[in-house]
Amino acid sequence: MTSVHRLDDPRIFQKECRTLAAAGYDVVLVGTGSSYTVDDGVRVKTVPLPATRLERMTRVLWRLYRLADAEAADIYHFHDPELLVMAWIMKARGRNVIFDAHEDLPAQILGKDWIPASYRRSVVRLVALSEKASLRILDHVIAADPTIAARFPPSKTVIVQNFPRTAEFQSADAPAYGTRAPVVAYVGGVSRMRGVEEMVRAIGRVSPELDARLVLAGSLDPASLLDELDGVPGWDRTAYLGWQGPEQLRQLLSSARVGLVTLHPLPNYLTAFPTKLFEYMAAGIPVVASDFPLWRQIVTDAQCGFLVDPMNPSAIAEAVEFLLRHPSEAQLMGERGRNAACSKYDWKTQGEKLVRVYEDVLQGAEA
């Protein structure tokens, strides 16, 4: 169940739902949006998208609850903190409940622009208390990385990381790396905190003779951001594609020369395992990433790209320009990244852990 994420969310639908369906579970995804075709054995039930956050947290929650309750499922798997109130109701009705913690929520709240700065720490305390209270009734917690897992009891927490299905990033018809156009790609949420302005300024500082283009693929936050970026130097060399489905993203990465993941040094990013970094590695393209301690270890161990100060467009541009001017070295970095992704950062092992969580919850319910 989700009230926040898209129906085709990479973690929820593409990985977890599909994995559970392949393991023999009757999987129903309950969320917001328009009607959705059954895919890979996953049924989808929806309510209309809310117009406001308040509507999402009130009327939409009630509608989602009614859809989910009608399924009389053996397990209810919640993906958003605002759904924890529903978990209490389900547990009171004798249902098994799992909470999937995608983010270090207290750290994430501190960076939420739509929450007044003077209220953020109070909201953090309220959220932390809500999570702590909910632990009493949760059968299991699934955490997206070790930092998130540390906030929950080890006895009922399993880490299921958001690694890519690396085999899906192999394309037999992908152009040879050395023949590709000088495309620099960024996939994921497009926002100031995720470094979009610095990326645009960086592409504007790459030597014009290289004819480099920045391609952004992801949802805008806020929607007015395009207007704000229109006057930023480098925007004339930038293409914004909007939200792209999994196949479109794979096509973009299979034709790109460089992948950017230059998020700002905010608390929830510093300790996060960035999905897009592993997707770039799986696609076999070199990366230019923020120089955070955790990311430094991943990129340095794999020798798959450059680490930069994400707040410095000139540093980003310098790394990009080196990779575009040295395609043989860039290709080797991409190949090393792909090898590391396949051997260490593949979804298969994480999917196996997810299935074991479901088995454990059901066995516990039968005991």
Quick one: tokens of 298? 């991943």
Return the CA Rg of the chain. Answer: 21
- Fold observed for domain 166-344: Rossmann fold (3.40.50)
Spatial separation of the C-alpha atoms in residues 209 and 189, rounded to whole Å: 30
Residues 6+ apart with CB under 8 A from 30: 1, 2, 44, 45, 46, 64, 67, 68, 71
Using left for φ > 0, alpha for ψ between -120 and 50, and beta otherwise, residue 284 falls in left
Would you state the pLDDT for residue 126? 75
pLDDT in tens, 249-265: 999 999 999 999 999 99
| Residue type at position 80 | D
* Architecture in CATH for domain 10-163+347-366: 3-Layer(aba) Sandwich (3.40)
Q: How far apart are CA 131 and CA 157, in angstroms?
A: 13
CATH 3.40.50.2000 placement within the chain: 10-163+347-366, 166-344
pLDDT in tens, 37-84: 677 899 999 999 998 888 988 999 999 999 999 999 999 999 998 899
Task: Check if the beta carbon of residue 141 is closer than 8 Å to that of residue 98.
Answer: yes
Dist. CA 86–CA 88, nearest whole Å? 5
Residue given tokens 């529903």 in the structure block: 86
Query: From CA 96, how far away is CA 73, in angstroms rounded?
Result: 9
Enter the pTM of the model: 0.90
pLDDT of residue 367: 58
Provide mean pLDDT across the span 221-234. Answer: 93
DSSP state of 23: T
CB 67 within 8 A of CB 74: no
Which two structure tokens, joined as six digits, stand for 24?
């023999």
| pLDDT, position 246 | 87
Q: How far apart are CA 53 and CA 201, in angstroms?
A: 32
| 101-134 confidence digits (pLDDT tens) | 998 766 665 555 656 666 666 766 777 777 778 8
pLDDT at residue 159 above 70?
yes
Contact assessment for residue 78 and residue 61, using Cβ atoms and an 8 Å cutoff: no
Q: Which residue has the higher pLDDT, 191 or 111?
A: 191
Pull the structure tokens for residue 294: 């955790």
- Alpha-carbon distances, residue 293 vs 50, 54, 146, 270, 287 (angstroms): 39, 37, 14, 8, 16
What's the pLDDT tens digit per position in 317-329?
999 999 999 999 9
pLDDT bucket at 21, cuts 50 / 70 / 90? very high
What was the pLDDT predicted at 364? Answer: 85
**Residue from 76, 152, 84 nearest 365 by CA:** 76
Answer whether residue 294 shows pLDDT above 90. Answer: yes
Q: In this prediction, what percent of the chain has a pLDDT beyond 90?
A: 79
Label residue 194 exposed, middle or buried (CB < 10 Å: 0-12, 13-18, 19+): buried
